[in-house]
Structure 1
Amino acid sequence: MEKPPFRQNQLCGSWLMKERLGTGGFGHVYLYQNEETSEKIAVKLCRLELNAKNKVRWSREIQIMKKMKHLNVVTAKDVPEEMMHIALNDLPGLFFASCLMCPLLTFLLTHFCSLYCILYEVLALLNDVGSGIQYLHENKIIHRDLKPENIVLQDINGKLVHKIIDLGYAKDLDQGSLCTSFVGTLQYLAPELFEGKSYTVTVDYWSFGPMIFECYCGFRPFLHNLQPVQWTSKVRNKGPKDIMAVEDMNGEVRFSTHLPYPNNLSRTLLEPLEGLLQLMLKWDPVQRGGGLNPDAKQPQCFALLDQILNMKVVHILNMTTTQVHSFLLSPDEGLHSLQQRIETETKIELLNQELLQETGVMLDPRKPAAQCVLDGVVSIFWPFECVLIL
């Protein structure tokens, strides 16, 4: 029988329980604040009487999270002495390093319009979650339950950072090991799991793919109105590069290798992002991810992800036509070279161009063209980094 939740005013020494942040399959997550230092922590407590198998799961999550040391994976911290005995049963609590802000799914539901228009969150998700997944795999850990609800956003020094949570289904992997247990959330589950086949880390690639697609489009890529047990048989024969499936009025399934149109992605970013999804959403788990990139010494999907995140793209707003032109910059490209490319595309001669940042500051001809692009993933999409042609 489930035990009642804490009373809202429960105090453990100097730690006051402020609110319940959420509920998972086995536990509640509570926010505690130290009344003396104002420090905040999140405490996950098991709310059920578990069988032996699930007790192992709970203990494994604590063991794994105590080993994690990565910005994009939630880590566990030592239990404050005053809170040693607050468990609802005989299972230990899980104490997170700091307060979690909100799940990605909640953020998507409340901010989708701005995400669709600005697309900053797509690249932030790629950067943060991609980095977290690679860290887990490098440490021989497969998550097995990646989904928007298990990605939270945390405010760190004024910047929102994505963190992977809920490692209850995670499993340590020996080199070359295969798993056969059926775990994870159905909507984001890799197809081989429905067939009871062995699987490897590539199940995390598949789960990450629909999350990227959903963050950008607002719906999952394959027959999103159907349950997985209904759509898997219809999508099984998709082409190796198909990343989307819809059902028309006649019930016929139509596939596409492209993101839905119209969209706000420039061609310089659209093609590599579609290529990334094509690698992650391959039906064949052996081909999924593209294999090992010999140069980067990492899976091809993550090598392509790094290329996308390292791209320097400048957006040029032509004030005479109100059209925006996007240019992918080479690392050391000069401003003169960029202006020649602008002339070729816009037919505005170089001598008639005046390049200004939106603040009105002129670009320095002595500096590389990338001077108008800020470092990091924000640089690709934010409209205040457009350069104006007057």
Structure 2
Amino acid sequence: MKNKLFSIVIAFIFIFALIACGSTSNSLNNSDKAVNSDSATITVAARDGSHSDVINAVKSAFEQSHNCQIKIVSLSAEDIHDNAIADSGNDIGQYDVIMIDDPLMPEYIEKDILCNLTQLGYIDDEDFVEKSRLLGKDPYPLGATYALPFSGNVQLIFYNKELLGDSPDLSNWESILQTCLKVKASGNDGYAIRGQTGNPIVSDFLPILWAFGGDIFDENNNVVLDSSESRDALSFYCDLKETGSNYDKNALIDAVTSGKASIALGWPSWFISENGSSAEIAQIPGKKDSSSVVLSTGEIGNWLLGITTNSANKELSLELIKYLTSESVQRQALSFGGIPTRKSIFRDKEILKEYPFFDAIYLGTNNSRVRPRTTKWSKIEDVFGAELVKCLNNEQSIDQTIVNSQKAIELLKNE
């Protein structure tokens, strides 16, 4: 009887212990849930593709160290722009961090979309390549900092070695034209034009315009496109087009890579992946011909990270963009085809052994020039691009194209 009573008591103690443990376990689980529910969520509007992939790959370390969640919204460049503007009217923004195509900086700042990082206590990081670092400032180039350079990019020449050989003369534009004419005579496309209206054709034409001494604006922001230099540059651009064909971005990449076309202007992120570069790389010439003076011609085109003015988590967002543009993250981004914006990476001898083309990108970045800093740039690309396309399609003369473009840009400037 005593043994039976003892067994019953032990059983009750065991059951009570199980209940207590279960209660403790539930309390711990509930506590974990409470921590997670209280943690901040940072929403990032990121460029779709490799840029979003990089952030997704590295975000967990930041989430753990800062007890937060990072939500990535992958969007096209156009959708980031349109959504950011639409969201800026809300008291609390949908996005805390947005990825920025650098020519859009003046528009974003005029519309009060971006937070002043200098006022948040940010101190400039001198390890960034200067040309990249200054893109995030307003007024450009010596104002306050509004954005940090996440991914580098600069226009370069990409060419097919099988068609042009080991050391083609790409030192001036006249030499490039003669090279393309020879390729055309052999049965392949010489120059691959990216001649779609808007940004594509304007970006494709600007380096030639600059090399010929032309420009859209002067130092006082006057429209100066209507010039003999602009006419000569456009005439030359039409001559280049006759040696090849008009391609969209993906077809252009494929044409140069496969040998269908010999040469094109492009951006490193088009041709470079974790497997290296699919085409040979050269600097865009700053000379019209062998006797011309050298001018800066390659467009810089970095993707930046900024914080929205209506973010509810500005301080944490600042820590996030500092992390995402850090040296350690940029090193990890290399395996996704990322282009660095830091001198320490461009100068790393071990990295250069694996990515020898970084020398050309670093040189191109240091010799680059920014597109005009105006809040109307996206509209200017639209109207100027439309006129250029008409000229390429033989719908209007070179002279009429320049005259029409000058008038259209002046109207936009004076709106």
TM-score in same-fold range (> 0.5): no
Would you tell me which structure has more strand in proportion to its own residues? 1
User: For the pair shown, which has the larger CA radius of gyration, 1 or 2?
Assistant: 2
Normalised to the residue count of structure 2, the TM-score between the two structures is 0.24
